[in-house]
Structure 1
Amino acid sequence: MIGKKVIIRNLPGKTKFITLDEVERSLSSRDLMICNDEEGMCIAGVFGGIKSGVTSSTKNIFLESAHFNPVSIRKTSKRHGLQTDASFRFERGTDPNITIWALKRAAMLMKEIAGGKITSDIIDVYPEKIENSRTEVSYRNIDRLIGKQIEKQTIRKILGLLDIIILKEENDILYLEIPAYRVDVKIEADVIEEILRIYGYNNVEISSHVNSTLTYFDKPDKENAVNIVSDLLSANGFAEIMCNSLNPASWYEENSDLDPSQLVILANPLSSDLNAMRQSLIFGGLNSVAWNINRQSYDLKFYEFGNCYFRVRAQNSIPSVDDYNERTSLDLFITGKTGRESWNHKSNPTDFFNIKSATEMVLARLGIKTSSLLKGESSKKYFAESITYMNNDRLVAETGRISKSYMAMFDIGQDVFYSHLDWDSIMKLIRKNIISYRELPKYPSVRRDLAILLDKGINFGLIKEIAFRTEKNVLREVGLFDVYESKSLGVNKKSYAVSFILRDDLRTMTDKNIDKVMNNLIRAFENELGAKIR
């Protein structure tokens, strides 16, 4: 042992260390190491080093008995992918007060079995003694959680068998001191669980008394709504996916679309790739798309219902439930072609309007009229082109084509169209929906078409909005059935062929009524859009 010293410390990050299995590993600056005067000898509580290992030629052995922080050992074990006997025990917690006894026991076994000779005294370094934990337990809570009234004398006897000391008993409350080796017993519920374990689960009889309560479900029924939409999407060729709710935190860092300060970081992650709770379903969905494309499945339609997690208040040193927020989302993904190739069917590439129609189909099935929602464009960078649906400044849905930067993150080489529906906002929106019935119209509908010359920057949604604002009584539908662009129309001009369905539920419409409505619409388009009727 170089320097005849044992030093417990952290080595600099990326330090190379060869373990007993002859594998060279790159250490983290957070890995606790047992070192000599110059270099590391063991990864503390996990694995020994090749230079400090015992071989057939070993004559002198230095024994160290220690207690390590379980969290630190677990993180180191997961970081290096090492599942050893040592890490299995240390990461679950050990008794800090038996280190000397364990050291003596090991030394005596070597002396008795291998003929060894003990050549030094024991050196004990214990700067801060780990005290036994203390807690309070009430007889009332013991009876309530176990579901049976156990005699107090029996409870005291069980606690004694568990080496749990009763410091005092006052007002039906027991003040207890729990030995340090019971690492999984800290709070009142833990003590009650131990009492029940010793008392015997089979000794708690099943009650012959049955309680029942009236249940009231808030409207709308969320589970029913999820099932309705799931059936709808599945019937339209979508496949449901369920992605991991754990993501790499690196996906959210320096990402302006999501707030890294609201990220929920795991205290003991399995790996650095699964160290944060997701804030969006987009990453899992794109990962699923990439996985399928890499296996030659190019035409995909996915949907996922899932929860997203946010830390809304990060200033508290001790987090509480109120510091976190959980929101439900429905996300859709479409890529590839609209259908399989066939001699009698032309298969076209999916486009923006495929995902838009799927989004509006879901909203319509839930009784939401998209005409009542304010439409705009998303500022999120994961969209190359998009449309948003808002209700009173609250996002209901956003849909569009995924940007190249996001597709490059997952090495996707074909267009992906994505829609995000805020399920919690939708549930609030349809809470007051009432299903109503009415008889079929007695009077016929009338269709009139207009060819409207407009600037290229004007979209059909604006035309539809102006039409319904201008005529609220007899206008039933507005549709776009042709778009024409040509240099002959003028610079930055296009022509929309728009259909209008008119119907009066009280009488048959006359030509005079129809002409009046159409003239009002034409004036509105000319005044508000600068349109010309061709």
Structure 2
Amino acid sequence: RKKGEKIKALDEKIYKLERDILLIADEKGAIGIAGIKGGQSTAIDSKTKNIIIETANFDRRIIRRGSKKMKLRTDASWRFENGIDPNLIDFTQERVVSLIQEIGGGRIAKGMIDLYPKKVFSKKIKLDLDYVDKLLGVKIPKQKVIKILKSLDLKIVNCKLKILNVEIPTFRLDISIPEDLIEEIGRIFGYQNIPSVFPQTILIPPERNDEILWTRNCRNILKERRFSEVYNYSFISEKDKGIFGWQDEELLEVLNPMSIFNKYMRPSLIPNLLKNIKENLKNFDEIKIFELGKTFVSRQNTKGKKQGFLERNMLSGILTKKDIKDEGFYELKGVVDSLLNKLGISNIWYDDYKATPEESHLSLWHPKKCAEIKIDNQEVGFLGQIYPKISEDLGVKEKVFVFDFNFERLIKLVSEEHEYQPISSQPMAIRDLAVLVPRGTKVVEVLNKINRAGGKLVQDVDLFDIYSGEEISQGKENFAFHIIYQAE
């Protein structure tokens, strides 16, 4: 074929042809992509009077390579990839001609060209009846085996003692080895008729796998907090890429996506979780869901070019409800605190982000309602509100609060040791405190002042309300705290 040759196909798209793409052609050039798609130049229309009927069979490997290379999947390519009996071509052509005569009233011109240089013949397979019994785990009488094979249009050429010589018709492309025959025998005999036998062996307990253990624990802890686990596809679409502001160099593109919705591997679990919310808010007032799964981010070399990819195990959860306010942040923070405490993790603190960490995808987050989750001085995740424009673009009108953990980092910090303290002999005093502060004051600043003022007597402080309204002076807002006092 000529270098850079192109063809206009029946779908009216123009395809560039490479050297190893098989074509159907005449003296003027390509008229079809063999086994994949016909060409527009030979399409039938209302003015067509003469039709040349071509029936052909092609090597399934060549068709599959061509289809993948062109990223073009069709009914024809699917059939040829799975294999077609070449000996059915004569019957197929006669059937097509018969239908044209019956429906369109055409007249058959004399003459037919038949090229069949390597004729395909039926093959023979030797079947050992002892092997049949061994593989299926049940003894099937010889006459029963013969009867089953004959019922499947398989011919017994000869039979010597416990060896059957079976002839396989060319249309049974799925039978090529003795095991294929045994599978057919078992299917007709009935798998329910094969007795179950427990293996006679010594069972050795598997080695402890901490990742599996902590994965199960995390799932159970979140389910105790009324979160439901979801499983989503590992792909995002071109539309998702635009909504979340990801760049091409950040994403791994799928070479042959099954649809436009599966164009890229997901760099985060959050996009698909947000889509789950959109559908479920139609039926529920409150949504609490989480997912634990793999994400895929492209790696770049020093010159900014793609060089491999980074596969990470992430744990993400979402909380939203109808008419949810800013306290949703603190509700979700309570879930995160509970999760980390039950995993035996201490020294937890929440830090404002001062610059966009490379792997946080902070374009997702509301700039003033997001915190880094840190253990000691190591960042393990993020907590905050999704940027309103992003959730609105996905059809979610309510505020959405999310936690996003790097699960691989998290499980390295878990501990099975928990510290227990004896119950204090001193009574506990609970007080509510309302503090009027300038708008924009950070909650952590007020918490620090309460802890410093109360000293060792302050056992716990929880924010339970933030209020600003007509009763509050302009430029001010009110923080309300539960404070627990107790002497050691």
User: Which letter does structure 2 place at the counterpart of 1:210?
Assistant: T
When residues 267 and 469 of structure 1 are mapped into structure 2, their CA distance, relative to the original with a 3 A threshold, is farther
- Corresponding residue of 1:263: 251
User: Does residue 1:211 correspond to 2:211, yes or no?
Assistant: no
Report the Cα offset of residue 279 of structure 1. Answer: 1.9
Report the Cα offset of residue 364 of structure 1. Answer: 0.9
Aligned partners of 1:304 and 1:332 also within 8 Å = yes
Q: Identify which of 284, 304, 308 aligns with 2:294.
A: 308
User: Does residue 1:90 correspond to 2:83, yes or no?
Assistant: no
- Superposition map of 1:330-369 within 5 A: 330-336=316-322, 349-367=323-341
Aligned partners of 1:78 and 1:270 also within 8 Å = no
Cα distance between partner residues in 1 of 2:372 and 2:391: 21
- Corresponding residue of 1:231: 223
- Superposition map of 1:9-20 within 5 A: 11=6, 17-18=9-10
SS class of match (1:216): coil
Q: Deviations over 1:423-461 (max 9, x none)?
A: 3333333x2242344432211234567665644332222
- Corresponding residue of 2:66: 72
User: What's the C-alpha RMSD, in Å, of the aligned pairs?
Assistant: 5.4
Aligned partners of 1:351 and 1:417 also within 8 Å = no
- Corresponding residue of 1:382: 364
User: Does residue 1:45 correspond to 2:35, yes or no?
Assistant: yes
Aligned partners of 2:267 and 2:297 also within 8 Å = no
Q: Deviations over 1:19-58 (max 9, x none)?
A: xxxxx55455579775668787435423435744599953
- Corresponding residue of 1:245: 234
User: Does residue 1:297 correspond to 2:280, yes or no?
Assistant: no
Gaps of 5+ in 1: 1-5, 19-23, 125-145, 147-182, 185-192, 316-321, 337-348, 506-534
Aligned partners of 1:313 and 1:323 also within 8 Å = yes
Aligned partners of 1:382 and 1:406 also within 8 Å = yes
When residues 485 and 323 of structure 1 are mapped into structure 2, their CA distance, relative to the original with a 3 A threshold, is closer
Cα distance between partner residues in 2 of 1:325 and 1:216: 25
Q: Deviations over 1:223-246 (max 9, x none)?
A: 431442343233xxx544332222
Q: Identify which of 469, 475, 487 aligns with 2:458.
A: 475
Cα distance between partner residues in 2 of 1:270 and 1:481: 48
Report the Cα offset of residue 478 of structure 1. Answer: 2.1
- Superposition map of 1:15-164 within 5 A: 17-18=9-10, 25-27=12-14, 41-49=31-39, 51-52=42-43, 58=50, 60=52, 67=59, 68-73=62-67, 82-83=74-75, 86-92=76-82, 116-117=110-111
Aligned partners of 1:247 and 1:275 also within 8 Å = yes
When residues 107 and 199 of structure 1 are mapped into structure 2, their CA distance, relative to the original with a 3 A threshold, is closer
SS class of match (1:373): strand
- Superposition map of 1:417-432 within 5 A: 417-429=401-413, 431-432=414-415
SS class of match (2:487): coil
Aligned partners of 1:302 and 1:333 also within 8 Å = yes
Aligned partners of 2:58 and 2:80 also within 8 Å = no
Q: Deviations over 1:471-519 (max 9, x none)?
A: 76432012446667699998855565555433222xxxxxxxxxxxxxx
TM-score calculated relative to the size of structure 2:
0.61
Q: Deviations over 1:386-429 (max 9, x none)?
A: 33322255444433333243134323344433333443333333
SS class of match (2:341): coil
Fraction of identical pairs, as percent: 16
When residues 312 and 471 of structure 1 are mapped into structure 2, their CA distance, relative to the original with a 3 A threshold, is farther
Q: Deviations over 1:173-195 (max 9, x none)?
A: xxxxxxxxxx99xxxxxxxx968
Report the Cα offset of residue 350 of structure 1. Answer: 0.8
Cα distance between partner residues in 2 of 1:449 and 1:240: 36
Aligned partners of 2:295 and 2:312 also within 8 Å = yes
User: Which letter does structure 1 place at the counterpart of 2:233?
Assistant: N
Report the Cα offset of residue 70 of structure 1. Answer: 0.7
- Corresponding residue of 1:525: none
Cα distance between partner residues in 2 of 1:207 and 1:458: 68
